[in-house]
């Protein structure tokens, strides 16, 4: 973008210079002619100010022999090599900020074409735009993409070696209300917004490697534009529903007895042993809640709000956007990896889990096998088996 602008600027200034160079040559010729004296046009060239044309054949290459040549300012260079603006462009490339009459509050970077040098983590010391590009292309894209694929592969291997975690005992037909309609509405709003964000984000970041060669530039460009627009709108919906999900499920995600034991046994997932008893949510779910929903949620949402320019009072400079982008990209890759595990166990990974979040009810056998302490509390009457006004799921009787 900046290169294009610079090119347009250079072409425009060359044309302007050319036009000015053409114009004054005609004016002085009139006087001597009137006096009947023939004077060579060059000798009469005006010493007017402003932009001067320069014949490329008159540039003096030997001027570079001066030991101070490299230290010359643009004005000094113009005296020995008119039209050579290298000192000015060198300064521009080093991030110098020139004068701009535009107000700082509205155009904070109007006087600056190329950002100053920085070294972002993982980049060389170079101008910030290039440093950001290096972090994105050399780290976030290859390592973020690899991590995502490794997690996908690990889940696939787990699925093909262990299969779906099944309920061992027979269903009793007695149901416990695991999620109220409000909890399910909050969860699914969040999950739908998350899916839109994850798919559109993946296409924006990695689509050029796996979709562009298949779809071609025209369709890929259009698709990415649509997905980018959806991403920008789904972001705030995700943020709001995430806050609701957080407060809805907070009460049952505090550390409780049995959590450490559950973690020490890896939930029985790896060894294939008995699933350790847990409360309404097990320690694995709690880790995803605090790590994914709470911590990564704050990082992802706040950096996303910066990228959407939704935070009032913040000055959105290029460096602000670069930093927000790097933070957002790293946090979202981690979040997607965490939620891949959650989505796996919530769908094909565990029998009865998806039905629980879809209908709100689980069988007593499922509750006893996967969340034994919670089941005990329900049986003891500490937690009601039916929390909302009973609505029998089709063909099933709800135990009040
Ligand atoms: C996109 C597909 C998703 C599917 C299929 C899915 C599925 C499920 C299922 C089946 C449960 C019930 C688990 C149980 O009974 O213990 C659940 C619980 C939950 N899900 Fe999801 N989910 C998805 C996305 C998300 C997202 C994006 C978030 C948050 C960012 C999320 C946050 C939660 C929370 C907080 C719980 C309650 C468990 C806890 O608090 O530890 N889910 N999900």
User: What's the CA-to-centroid distance between 346 and ligand 1, angstroms?
Assistant: 7
For residue 330 and ligand 1, the question of a CB distance below 6 A is answered with: no
User: What's the CA-to-centroid distance between 187 and ligand 1, angstroms?
Assistant: 6
E-strand stretches of the chain: 117-118, 126-127, 175-177, 361-363
Mean pLDDT of 164-181: 95
* Average pLDDT of the residues of the chain: 87
| Percent of the chain whose pLDDT exceeds 70 | 82
Beta bridge partners of 362: 176
User: What's the CA-to-centroid distance between 285 and ligand 1, angstroms?
Assistant: 9
For residue 342 and ligand 1, the question of a CB distance below 6 A is answered with: yes
User: What's the CA-to-centroid distance between 180 and ligand 1, angstroms?
Assistant: 14
User: What's the CA-to-centroid distance between 65 and ligand 1, angstroms?
Assistant: 72
Structure tokens at 322: 């670069």
Q: Is the model more confident about 107 or about 153?
A: 153
Residue from 176, 191, 237 whose mutation best tests the ligand 1 pocket (most atoms within 8 A of CB): 191
User: What's the CA-to-centroid distance between 342 and ligand 1, angstroms?
Assistant: 6
Longest CA pairwise span in the chain (Å):
121
For residue 335 and ligand 1, the question of a CB distance below 6 A is answered with: no
Strand-strand pairing, 175-177 and 361-363? antiparallel
- State pLDDT tens for residues 43-81: 445 555 666 666 666 667 788 889 999 999 999 998 888
Structure tokens at 95: 């991030």
The pLDDT of residue 61 is 72
For residue 281 and ligand 1, the question of a CB distance below 6 A is answered with: yes
For residue 187 and ligand 1, the question of a CB distance below 6 A is answered with: yes
For residue 306 and ligand 1, the question of a CB distance below 6 A is answered with: no
- State pLDDT tens for residues 113-127: 999 999 999 999 999
DSSP string, 39-87: --TGGG-----S-----GGG--GGGGGSTTGGG--HHHHHHHSTT--HH
For residue 191 and ligand 1, the question of a CB distance below 6 A is answered with: yes
Sorted by sequence, the CB contacts under 8 Å of residue 298 that are 6+ apart come out as none
- The residue nearest atom 42 of ligand 1, judged by CA position, is 191
The pLDDT of residue 284 is 97
The residue count of the chain comes to 400
For residue 177 and ligand 1, the question of a CB distance below 6 A is answered with: no
pLDDT reading at 384 higher than 80: yes
- State pLDDT tens for residues 285-324: 999 999 999 999 999 999 999 999 999 989 999 999 999 9
For residue 353 and ligand 1, the question of a CB distance below 6 A is answered with: yes
Structure tokens at 85: 């603006």
pLDDT reading at 390 higher than 70: no
- The residue nearest atom 30 of ligand 1, judged by CA position, is 293
The pLDDT of residue 391 is 61
- The residue nearest atom 14 of ligand 1, judged by CA position, is 353
How far, in Å, CA of 300 to CA of 335, rounded? Answer: 8
For residue 280 and ligand 1, the question of a CB distance below 6 A is answered with: no
User: What's the CA-to-centroid distance between 289 and ligand 1, angstroms?
Assistant: 9
For residue 248 and ligand 1, the question of a CB distance below 6 A is answered with: no
- The residue nearest atom 22 of ligand 1, judged by CA position, is 343
Ligand 1 atom closest to the Cα of residue 281 is 41
| Percent of the chain whose pLDDT exceeds 90 | 74
- The residue nearest atom 5 of ligand 1, judged by CA position, is 343
How far, in Å, CA of 125 to CA of 131, rounded? Answer: 7
Q: Is the model more confident about 28 or about 342?
A: 342
User: What's the CA-to-centroid distance between 10 and ligand 1, angstroms?
Assistant: 55
Structure tokens at 27: 């004016």
Contact between 134 and 142 under an 8 Å Cβ cutoff? The reply is no
Contact between 304 and 235 under an 8 Å Cβ cutoff? The reply is yes
For residue 245 and ligand 1, the question of a CB distance below 6 A is answered with: yes
């Amino acid at each position: 973008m900046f290169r294009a602008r610079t090119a347009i600027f250079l072409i425009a200034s060359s044309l302007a210079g050319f036009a000015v160079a053409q114009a004054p040559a005609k004016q002085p010729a009139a006087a001597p002619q009137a006096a009947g004296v023939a004077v060579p046009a060059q000798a009469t060239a005006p010493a007017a100010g402003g932009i001067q044309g320069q014949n490329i054949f008159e540039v003096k290459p030997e001027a570079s022999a001066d030991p101070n040549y490299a230290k010359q300012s643009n004005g000094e260079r113009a005296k020995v090599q008119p039209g050579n603006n290298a000192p000015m462009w060198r300064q521009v490339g080093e991030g110098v900020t020139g004068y701009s009459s535009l107000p700082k509050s509205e155009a904070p970077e109007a006087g600056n074409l190329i950002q100053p040098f920085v070294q972002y983590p993982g980049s060389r010391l170079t101008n910030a735009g290039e440093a950001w590009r290096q972090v994105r292309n050399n780290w976030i894209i290859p390592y973020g993409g690899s991590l995502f694929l490794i997690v996908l592969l690990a889940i696939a291997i787990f699925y093909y070696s262990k299969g779906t975690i099944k309920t061992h005992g027979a269903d009793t037909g007695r149901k416990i209300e695991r999620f109220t309609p409000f909890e399910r509405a909050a969860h699914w709003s969040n999950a739908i917004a998350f899916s839109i964000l994850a798919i559109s984000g993946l296409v924006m970041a990695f689509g050029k490697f796996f979709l562009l060669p298949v779809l071609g530039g025209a369709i890929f460009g259009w698709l990415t534009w649509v997905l980018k627009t959806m991403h920008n709108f789904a972001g705030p919906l995700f943020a709001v529903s995430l806050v609701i999900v957080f407060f809805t499920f907070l009460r049952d995600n505090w550390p409780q007895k049995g959590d450490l034991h559950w973690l020490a046994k890896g939930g029985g997932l790896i060894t294939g042993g008995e699933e350790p008893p847990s409360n309404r949510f097990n320690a694995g779910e709690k880790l995803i809640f605090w790590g994914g929903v709470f911590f990564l949620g704050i990082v992802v949402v706040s950096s996303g709000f910066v990228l959407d320019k939704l935070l009032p009072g913040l000055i959105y400079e290029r460096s602000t956007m670069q930093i927000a982008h790097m933070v957002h990209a790293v946090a979202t890759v981690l979040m997607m990896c965490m939620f891949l595990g959650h989505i796996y166990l919530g769908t094909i990974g565990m029998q009865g889990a998806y039905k629980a979040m879809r209908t709100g009810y689980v069988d007593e056998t499922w509750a006893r096998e996967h969340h034994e302490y919670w089941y005990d509390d329900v049986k003891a009457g500490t937690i009601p088996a039916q929390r909302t006004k009973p609505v029998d799921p089709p063909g099933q009787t709800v135990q009040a």
